[in-house]
């Protein structure tokens, strides 16, 4: 029992427990929504799998408890959070979102239940919640950076990390349960079961908490998301976010009284500026596309230094998220809400998560779910403005007395241990970022041929809808292309688990890369990877009627030869729009030499688009190798007239819903 008291319910046990619990929540929330999108929304045809969203409405269960929630129920739901998260990486298909859903649903019962159970401990608990959430985000960044954006604690042998911290958290939960059971919780105030605070105030505080969860999920759990918004330095963004996280944790541990000096108006201004800077970070990189087809092709504007000002401001102000979380949860605990009130407000918070899922994904499929989706075209910024607004408004409900943390004193060994741990997270993340950065060093000396490949990744999933980065990677490695064009490579959003398949492939293949349209423009993504340096890259857009169409183009120098490489993925609802798109894309290669014009064109050799393409002095590589055009395939590589093609082959679909297509040409 002395061991349990010292290590499992000690001074930093709550910080440890909720660092893990919050980490597992954002991991499984991300996985749940990624799987629901893959199974129910990827083809813009919602089906029964969308019912997985019901997991976020699990707080309705709390309505069954009128006065208190049994401690055993808290222990069970807490352990389900952990166990389900640990099992999830071992399953496939629908089982992924079942176990992810169980973990998320259990969290949304356990967390409000814990808030109710821990009454009269608002000072310490709110403090620990804030630090725990900051550490959870730091761990998410560490694990994803070390895995080139794939969370290593959920993959391969590195899953042992998840098991270790999960076992620790599970043991702490047991220790807390025994502590509750033996009635060893010190209470300095008379116990009250409920509060007279209105449901609306509790709801307002809850919406602020959910606004923070959504903002972290959308933005900070995986900084590659921000990098793809802005074309900013990935490692620089990671370091900036971690520095601000470290500053928050350090000041909370060593100088908690600094919060006492904050005036309410300072808190409101800080929140308002953060919400504005986060929205502007997206907005200044977004394009508001004209509806007039005569305006296309449309060249994407270059990113200037001043476009990064909102990004820098957002990162500097980002610690407000964790301070807000501290204050909102502290205020919530002080109110001693009944299970019914908190269950109702958290259920509405779950609905908010569902709504925000659609607010972020509809701009990407604005032409598919009419009439609702069409109003979301070019509205990607709204998915960040709304949670920022809710957070800012919720802080208005925090009483001035809640800003006081004079009673908080952490033991010296706790301060040292937590500070040292976060220092290791910081150093480990930088090392992981450096080690996973590609460093191509290929030589063109003596090279007589060139292997070129185009591949539609279907967001990095296979034909069954399961994430399949490694399967696709092995297929690419088997071909060993010198130049690789990718389509549908834009999962760097919540619909794709906030993963960056281009960064992952570039790291694993040790290749240069250019990701074309920024994710804020809501195209399905085109990218160019190369063993040889990429220069003069740019993005342009073709006219569209159901989804935004963006292309990536650049020059690649191999020896003394400069190739003009373009990667495309046109699509439209009518033959005329497809014809227009193809002609617009051809405008950027007309008159150029050594052209490699490739992608998923969504047309075969019997179409007008195919004939138009050959009419520009480009040749079909498959015809060049086999003397006959393929009639069934829509993935092509067109080349400048006179290019000698020695081999051309389609690799059947399975790893993706498209075949990979590769060719070899003489240099």
Q: Could you tell me if residue 440 is inside a domain?
A: no
Rounded Cα gap, residues 517 and 544, in angstroms: 15
Rounded Cα gap, residues 483 and 454, in angstroms: 9
Shared domain check, 532 and 404 = no
Instruction: Give the chain's end-to-end CA distance (angstroms, integer).
Output: 74
Q: Could you tell me if residue 297 is inside a domain?
A: no
CB contact at 8 A, 597 and 452:
no
How does DSSP classify residue 5? I
Going by C-beta distance under 8 Å and a sequence separation of 6 or more, which residues neighbour residue 48? 40
Q: Could you tell me if residue 265 is inside a domain?
A: yes
Q: Of 20, 518, 9, give the one whose Cα is nearest residue 232.
A: 518
Shared domain check, 282 and 158 = yes
Q: Could you tell me if residue 296 is inside a domain?
A: no
Tokens (6 digits) for 329: 């949860």
Shared domain check, 480 and 365 = no
Q: Residue 565: which CATH number? A: 3.60.10.10
For helices 412-435 and 234-254, what crossing angle results, to 10°?
180
- Opening angle at CA 654, ends 648 and 660, nearest 5: 25
How does DSSP classify residue 548? B
Shared domain check, 585 and 508 = yes
Q: Of 39, 216, 246, 225, give the one whose Cα is nearest residue 135.
A: 246
Q: Which of 405, 435, 465 represents a domain boundary (last residue)?
A: 435
Rounded Cα gap, residues 92 and 310, in angstroms: 40
Shared domain check, 502 and 425 = no
Q: Which of 387, 408, 435 represents a domain boundary (last residue)?
A: 435
Between the alpha carbon of residue 54 and those of residues 60, 286, 627, the distances in Å are 10, 32, 55
Which helix H or strand E contains 512, and what residues bound it? strand 512-515
Q: Of 509, 548, 503, 552, give the one whose Cα is nearest residue 532.
A: 509
Between the alpha carbon of residue 108 and those of residues 18, 50, 211, 317, the distances in Å are 13, 19, 14, 28
Hey, how many other C-beta atoms are within 10 angstroms of the C-beta on 550? Answer: 27
Residue 124 φ/ψ region, left for φ over 0, alpha for ψ in the -120 to 50 degree band, beta for the rest: alpha
Which helix H or strand E contains 535, and what residues bound it? strand 534-542
Shared domain check, 202 and 63 = yes
Query: What is the DSSP track for 131-173?
Result: HHHHHHHHHHHHHHHHTTTS-GGGSGGGHHHHHHHHHHHHHHH
Q: Of 200, 230, 482, 470, give the one whose Cα is nearest residue 345.
A: 200
Shared domain check, 465 and 357 = no
Rounded Cα gap, residues 183 and 169, in angstroms: 21
Rounded Cα gap, residues 138 and 426, in angstroms: 8
Query: Which residues of the chain, if any, have pLDDT below 50?
Result: 1, 3-4, 184-193
Rounded Cα gap, residues 254 and 394, in angstroms: 27
Residue 124 backbone phi and psi in degrees, to 5:
-70, -40
- How many domains, the chain? 2
How does DSSP classify residue 295? G
Rounded Cα gap, residues 21 and 125, in angstroms: 14
CB contact at 8 A, 20 and 82:
yes
Separation of CA 2 from chain center:
42
Tokens (6 digits) for 174: 């047991």
| Domain encompassing residue 62 | 2-288+303-435
Write out pLDDT tens, residues 189-211.
Answer: 444 445 567 899 999 999 999 99
Query: Percentage of the chain with pLDDT > 90?
Result: 70
How does DSSP classify residue 531? S
Write out pLDDT tens, residues 379-408.
Answer: 999 999 999 999 999 999 988 777 766 555
Q: Could you tell me if residue 26 is inside a domain?
A: yes
CB contact at 8 A, 588 and 567:
no
Q: Could you tell me if residue 224 is inside a domain?
A: yes
Handedness of CA 352, 358, 361, 364 (dihedral sign): negative
Shared domain check, 195 and 83 = yes
What Rg, from alpha-carbon coordinates, does the chain have? 26
Segments in 216-296 forming alpha helices (H): 224-230, 234-254, 264-283
Q: Could you tell me if residue 394 is inside a domain?
A: yes
Residue 65 backbone phi and psi in degrees, to 5:
-110, 115
Going by C-beta distance under 8 Å and a sequence separation of 6 or more, which residues neighbour residue 602? 569, 570, 571, 578, 634
Shared domain check, 465 and 408 = no
Going by C-beta distance under 8 Å and a sequence separation of 6 or more, which residues neighbour residue 62? 69, 109, 112, 113, 339, 340, 342, 343, 344, 346
Separation of CA 437 from chain center:
19
Longest dimension (CA), the chain: 88
Rounded Cα gap, residues 33 and 25, in angstroms: 12
Three-state secondary-structure class, residue 454:
strand
Q: Residue 270: which CATH number? A: 1.20.1250
Shared domain check, 37 and 184 = yes
Rounded Cα gap, residues 209 and 327, in angstroms: 10
Q: Which of 435, 468, 495 represents a domain boundary (last residue)?
A: 435
Show the 3-state SS of 328-390: HHHHHHHHCCCHHHHHHHHHHHHHHHHHHHHHHHHHHHCCCCCCCHHHHCCCCCHHHHHHHHH
Tokens (6 digits) for 14: 């709550």
**Hey, what's the torsion of the CAs at 527, 528, 533, 538, to 10 degrees?**
-60
CB contact at 8 A, 497 and 143:
no
Shared domain check, 387 and 330 = yes
User: b or e along 106-132 (b: 16 or more beta carbons within 10 Å of the residue's beta carbon)?
Assistant: bbbbbbbbbbbbbbbbbbbbbbbbbbb
Q: Of 590, 596, 492, 509, give the one whose Cα is nearest residue 552.
A: 596
Q: Could you tell me if residue 396 is inside a domain?
A: yes
Shared domain check, 402 and 477 = no
Rounded Cα gap, residues 490 and 488, in angstroms: 6
Tokens (6 digits) for 44: 């813009």
Tokens (6 digits) for 603: 């047309």
Rounded Cα gap, residues 481 and 247, in angstroms: 44
User: What's the pLDDT at 64?
Assistant: 86
User: What's the pLDDT at 406?
Assistant: 59
């Amino acid at each position: 029992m002395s061991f349990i008291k010292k290590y499992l319910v000690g001074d930093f046990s709550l910080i440890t427990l909720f660092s893990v619990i919050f980490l597992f929540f954002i991991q499984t929330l991300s996985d749940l929504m990624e799987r629901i999108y893959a199974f129910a929304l990827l083809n813009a045809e919602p089906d029964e799998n969308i019912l997985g969203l019901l997991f976020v409405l699990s707080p309705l269960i709390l309505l069954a408890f009128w006065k208190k929630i049994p401690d055993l129920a808290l222990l069970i739901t807490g352990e389900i959070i952990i166990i389900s998260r640990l099992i999830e990486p071992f399953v496939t298909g629908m089982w992924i979102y079942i176990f992810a859903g169980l973990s998320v649903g259990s969290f949304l019962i356990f967390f409000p239940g814990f808030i109710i159970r821990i009454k009269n401990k608002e000072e310490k608990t709110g403090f620990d919640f804030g630090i725990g959430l900051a550490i959870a985000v730091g761990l998410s960044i560490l694990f994803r950076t070390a895995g080139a954006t794939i969370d290593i604690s959920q993959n391969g042998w590195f899953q042992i990390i998840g098991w270790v911290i999960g076992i620790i958290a599970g043991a702490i939960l047991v220790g807390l349960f025994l502590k509750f059971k033996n009635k060893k919780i010190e209470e300095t105030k008379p116990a009250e079961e409920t509060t007279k605070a209105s449901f609306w105030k509790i709801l307002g505080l809850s919406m602020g908490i959910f606004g923070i969860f959504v903002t972290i999920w959308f933005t900070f759990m995986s900084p590659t998301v921000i990098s793809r918004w802005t074309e900013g330095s990935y490692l620089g963004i990671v370091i900036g976010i971690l520095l601000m996280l470290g500053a928050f944790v350090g000041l909370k541990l060593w100088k908690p009284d600094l919060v006492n000096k904050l005036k309410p108006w300072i808190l409101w201004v800080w929140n308002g500026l953060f919400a504005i800077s986060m929205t502007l970070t997206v907005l200044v990189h977004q394009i508001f596309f004209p509806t007039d087809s005569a305006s296309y092709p449309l060249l994407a504007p270059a990113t200037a230094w001043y476009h990064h000002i909102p990004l820098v401001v957002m990162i500097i102000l980002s610690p407000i998220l964790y301070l807000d979380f501290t204050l909102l949860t502290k205020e919530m605990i002080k109110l001693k809400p009944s299970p019914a009130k908190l269950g109702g407000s958290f259920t509405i918070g779950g609905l908010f998560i569902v709504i925000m899922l659609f607010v972020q994904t509809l701009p990407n499929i604005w032409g598919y779910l009419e009439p609702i989706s069409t109003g979301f075209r070019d509205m990607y910024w709204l998915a960040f403005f709304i949670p920022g607004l809710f957070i800012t408004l919720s802080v208005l409900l925090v009483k001035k007395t809640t800003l006081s943390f004079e009673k908080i004193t952490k033991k010296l060994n706790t301060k040292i241990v937590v500070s040292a741990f976060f220092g290791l997270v910081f150093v480990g993340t930088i090392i992981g970022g450096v080690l996973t950065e590609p460093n191509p060093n290929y030589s063109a000396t003596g090279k007589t041929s060139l292997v070129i490949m185009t591949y539609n990744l279907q967001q990095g999933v296979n034909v069954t809808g399961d994430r399949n980065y490694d399967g696709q990677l092995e297929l690419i490695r088997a071909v060993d292309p010198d130049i690789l064009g990718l389509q549908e490579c834009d999962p760097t959003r919540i619909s794709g688990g906030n993963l960056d398949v281009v960064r992952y492939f570039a790291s694993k293949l040790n290749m240069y890369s250019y990701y074309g349209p920024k994710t804020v423009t809501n195209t399905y993504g085109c990218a160019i990877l190369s063993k040889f340096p990429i220069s003069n890259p740019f993005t342009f857009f073709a006219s569209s009627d159901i989804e935004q169409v963006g292309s990536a183009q650049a020059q690649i120098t191999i020896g003394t030869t400069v190739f003009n490489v373009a990667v495309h993925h046109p699509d439209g609802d009518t033959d005329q729009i497809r014809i227009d798109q193809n002609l617009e894309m051809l405008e950027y290669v007309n008159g150029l030499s050594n052209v490699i014009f490739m992608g998923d064109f969504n047309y075969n050799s019997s179409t007008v688009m195919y004939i138009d393409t050959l009419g520009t002095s480009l040749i079909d590589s498959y015809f060049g190798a086999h003397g006959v055009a393929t009639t069934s395939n829509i993935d092509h590589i067109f080349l400048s007239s006179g290019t000698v093609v020695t081999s051309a082959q389609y690799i059947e679909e399975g790893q993706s819903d498209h075949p990979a297509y590769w060719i070899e040409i003489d240099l």
